[in-house]
Structure 1
Amino acid sequence: MDNSSLLAGESVGRQLNDRILILQILVAVFFCINVLLIVTFFQKECFYTVTRYILFAVALLSDSLILTMSNIMFIMIYFRFSMPIGLCFIFCFVLSMYSSVTPVTLTAMTLERYVAICMPLRHAELCTARSALHCVLIILLLSLIPCSAVMFVFLSSVSLSFFTPVQNCAIDTFLIHTWQDHVRSAIYQLYFFVMFTVLIFAYVRMIKVAKAASGENKKATRKGLRTVVLHGFQLLLCLIRLWCPFIEFAVFQIDLALFINVRTFNYIFFQVAPKCLSPLIYGLRDEKFFHSLKYDVLYGLFKRNH
């Protein structure tokens, strides 16, 4: 190998290292924002007794967990670290489950906005703190189904000796049959088809209400419509993430360096980015939540300085 090839390889390595550093900064920033929002949520009773804020907190907790775990897995794969298969199994199971929690929660939040705008007289009756807790249990159950379908097949197909080796941790390790990946993709596609159907239905009905509304009601309805649109954009990014493994596999057959670049791009835009939109949609756009957050931050700084 000549010197120019070595320099090119070192240049690619430096670029990738810079990207990894930038990625860690982005993940840390959004993780800190999520933590601030979660602390604000638990500090005031007016938040943890209202359905939409409870669902928002569930989305924040899920996003924070996914950001942390997916970032750890990304770094381990990038630097080729290994872990026991048993620990990797638990890691991938939790990550797969909570990857579904966010989009299912977004759908529930869309339905809550639909009830608030299109059925205002029944909103207080339907959207109580008790019903929100029941909704959280349903969200966790629905999120458990896709990953369970893959993991239970894996557990029934391998012996205990499979769990002893140490190797790189990735979800692909547990896809021992080709049809497993097809089943997983089919379940996810069905989920997102249902979610988008609910989203479009709610959006169309809310548009009709917006046309008939006036004054403050019209303003609140338009804000609800923007929230639903942002939810739709989040769900679209989550849906595109399902196609990323197929794209990465095709690129891997062409060039390794291009594969690493594509995988890094997919991780940033279709794994990290959707998880960073929740604070914007409900945390920073919601006046009550934003004022509480600003008060907590400023009061904390003022108290520290004095």
Structure 2
Amino acid sequence: STACLRTRCDMNTTKRQDSFNDAFTKNFVSFALGFIINYINGMFVYTYFKSVVFQQDPRYVLYIHLVINDMIMLTVTVMLQILTYTTPLSFAPCCVILLISVTANNPLNLAGMAVERYIAVCRPLHHSQLCTVQRAYALITLIWAVSFIPSISDVIILLVVQPHSVFTKNVICYPSFVYNTPSPPQVLLFSFVFLTLIVTYMKVLCAARAVSSSNQASAKNAHNTILLHGVQLLICMLSYISPFINLVLVTAWPHKRTIIIFTTFLFTNLLPRLLSPLIYGARDQKLSSHFRVHFGCKGSVLKFIPE
């Protein structure tokens, strides 16, 4: 995401302050965490593709897209961080990497999952007709198309205003250095997603309260679903507020700048790539039961996340 790259920009400006041992430790920790997180998420992807029942449910189609998207973004994030310490990037490959990195897939995907849950709870008779696997794939295609629009616009503007010789120069691989353009499309996009989530959550909450007297289990499940999506949204948005967290902490402790930036990078950009898919996948009874079958996790953490 864009915020991930903002954090890496801070790393670019401070990496010269790191000794070789510090730089090696930071890159090793990032690579190790990235590998472990992708391995765990890959287990959920494997479980999905080994069970046809999941591939026939739009809810799980959207969920696995969330997981795969997190794996892609995590890989690119760690790769860019390591490259900033090891190999200078020229303009052209940096633009290609940024084209992938700055896409805003996860918030849009969460909005789609929220709408699907709204239809399931509030319009159950129409759920099978409105929410199909084909429409889920169509929604994923639309999500990618909409997410790429701001990045492609930046590339087009870059091709128009910059001389072609700039593509052979080494640059700091960070959007404001490469594109130097404002980002109102992203602001509008996230505002739309936020409003969509708020509206669907409130409607599902009202529906849960309406049936609470006659069906306590349904009400509890609906409330848990609302809470889970809210937690996922907060986790997803952590990477977008990391620059502000860095600003506050570095202002308070300027002598700890490199440690603060790297720690914030871990907790706002790397670990959230695991928490959101893990919490959702472990809470889902059907998915977690298939997960245990494939990987023999009878005593795993999956047992301790409430349904």
**TM-score category by the smaller chain?**
0.7 to 0.9
Give the equivalent residue in structure 2 for 1:101.
105
Q: Which amino acid aligns with 2:126?
A: R
User: What is the CA distance between 1:129 and its match in structure 2?
Assistant: 0.6
Give the equivalent residue in structure 1 for 2:120.
116
Alignment of 1:126 with 2:130, yes or no, is yes
Alignment of 1:86 with 2:92, yes or no, is yes
Give the equivalent residue in structure 1 for 2:4.
none
User: What is the CA distance between 1:75 and its match in structure 2?
Assistant: 1.4
User: What is the CA distance between 1:17 and its match in structure 2?
Assistant: 4.4
User: What is the CA distance between 1:232 and its match in structure 2?
Assistant: 2.8
> How far apart, CA to CA, are the structure 1 residues paired with 2:242 and 2:111?
18
Structure 1 residues 141 and 241: alpha-carbon distance in aligned structure 2, compared to 1, 3 A threshold: farther
Give the equivalent residue in structure 2 for 1:304.
none
Give the equivalent residue in structure 1 for 2:238.
237
> How far apart, CA to CA, are the structure 1 residues paired with 2:20 and 2:250?
19
- State the identity %: 22
Q: Which amino acid aligns with 1:270?
A: T
> How far apart, CA to CA, are the structure 1 residues paired with 2:114 and 2:226?
10
Q: Which amino acid aligns with 1:69?
A: V
Structure 1 residues 238 and 111: alpha-carbon distance in aligned structure 2, compared to 1, 3 A threshold: farther
- The one-character-per-residue Cα deviations of 1:96-123 (angstroms, maximum 9, x if unpaired) are 12xx111111111111111111111111
Alignment of 1:170 with 2:177, yes or no, is no
Question: Which deviates more, 276-285 or 42-51?
Answer: 276-285
The answer (yes or no) to whether the contact 1:76–1:169 under 8 Å persists in 2 is no
Structure 1 residues 15 and 84: alpha-carbon distance in aligned structure 2, compared to 1, 3 A threshold: closer
Give the equivalent residue in structure 2 for 1:296.
294
> How far apart, CA to CA, are the structure 2 residues paired with 1:228 and 1:157?
42
Alignment of 1:58 with 2:65, yes or no, is yes
The secondary structure found in structure 2 opposite 1:169 is coil
> How far apart, CA to CA, are the structure 2 residues paired with 1:243 and 1:52?
34
User: What is the CA distance between 1:280 and its match in structure 2?
Assistant: 2.1
The answer (yes or no) to whether the contact 1:104–1:195 under 8 Å persists in 2 is yes
The answer (yes or no) to whether the contact 2:47–2:294 under 8 Å persists in 1 is yes
Cα RMSD (Å): 2.8
Q: Is there any run of 5+ residues in structure 2 with no aligned partner, and where?
A: 1-15, 298-307
Q: Which amino acid aligns with 1:156?
A: V
1:40-51 matches, within 5 Å, as 40-51=47-58
The answer (yes or no) to whether the contact 1:37–1:283 under 8 Å persists in 2 is yes
Q: Which amino acid aligns with 1:189?
A: V
1:187 aligns with one of 163, 185, 188: 185
> How far apart, CA to CA, are the structure 1 residues paired with 2:87 and 2:59?
40
> How far apart, CA to CA, are the structure 1 residues paired with 2:25 and 2:114?
38
Q: Which amino acid aligns with 2:201?
A: Y
> How far apart, CA to CA, are the structure 1 residues paired with 2:235 and 2:54?
23
What is the TM-score of this pair, normalised by structure 1? 0.81
The answer (yes or no) to whether the contact 2:47–2:291 under 8 Å persists in 1 is yes
The answer (yes or no) to whether the contact 1:110–1:231 under 8 Å persists in 2 is no
Give the equivalent residue in structure 2 for 1:71.
78
Alignment of 1:21 with 2:22, yes or no, is no
Q: Which amino acid aligns with 2:101?
A: L
Structure 1 residues 207 and 216: alpha-carbon distance in aligned structure 2, compared to 1, 3 A threshold: same
User: What is the CA distance between 1:244 and its match in structure 2?
Assistant: 6.6
- The one-character-per-residue Cα deviations of 1:13-43 (angstroms, maximum 9, x if unpaired) are 6556444433332222111011111111111
Structure showing greater radius of gyration is 1
User: What is the CA distance between 1:220 and its match in structure 2?
Assistant: 2.4
Q: Which amino acid aligns with 1:222?
A: H
Aligned pair count reads 278
> How far apart, CA to CA, are the structure 1 residues paired with 2:42 and 2:270?
16
Q: Is there any run of 5+ residues in structure 1 with no aligned partner, and where?
A: 1-8, 300-306
